[in-house]
Amino acid sequence: MKRVYIFLLLLPNILQAQKQGTFDFNVGAGILSTNHIINILVDIVTFDDSRTTFRTPAINTTLKYAIKDNWFVNADGSYELEKEDLYKNEAIVGHRKNSYYSIGIGTEYHYLNKEFIQVYSGGAIGGTFKTSNTNGTIENDHGFNFQLNLIGVRIGKKVAGTLELGVGYKGIINAGLSYQY
C-alpha cells in the first residue's frame, strides 16, 4: 500500500504536460517498412525471380499538434524507392523501379515529458500508393497501410533526436530529428 501512495505522489511529476498548442515537426528514416516486408513475403510465396539491387529507407516526415496536454494529433508521409533486376534462367531480362508513397493521420500520447527526454506511443492509419515501372510499362496500385509506434523516445529540447520502435509504413526502427515550437 505504501508503494501506491508513493506512486500517486510522484504521478504529477511523471506526467508533466506537453503543453496544448505545441507543434512538432519531424523528419526521419526507417528500415523494414510494411511495404518492404510485404514484398519479401510475396516474393517467397510466388517464387519471384527478381533481385533487389537498391532500396532506400522509408524517408518520412511528420507534423504534430498538441490538442491537449501530452496528446498530439499528426499527419505524416513516407517515401521509399526500390530497384530490381528481373531474371529468367539466370540472365537479366529487364528492370523494375517501384516507388511507394504512404500517407496517414494519427494520434500520439507523450506519457513522460522531462526537460530533455520525452517518451511516447501512438499510431496512424492511411494508405500507400505504389508506382511500378517495369521495362517502360507503368502500373499504379494502392492499399491500406498503418503505423504503430510501440515506444518512441525524443531526446533534446527544441531540436532533438528521435528513435521509434514499431511497425508500419515508417518501418520497424525509425530514427530522425525533431523540432518543437
Count of CA atoms in the C-beta half-sphere (13 A) of 150: 7
Domain 17-180 sits in CATH at 2.40.160.20
Over residues 22-57, the pLDDT tens digits come to 899 999 999 999 999 998 888 888 877 778 889 999
Q: Which residues pair with 78 in a beta bridge?
A: 60, 102
Query: Can you give the pTM of this predicted structure?
Result: 0.83
5-15: b or e for each residue (b if 16 or more CB lie within 10 Å)? eeeeeeeeeee
Ordered by start, the domain boundaries in the chain are 17-180
Residue 2: what pLDDT? 59
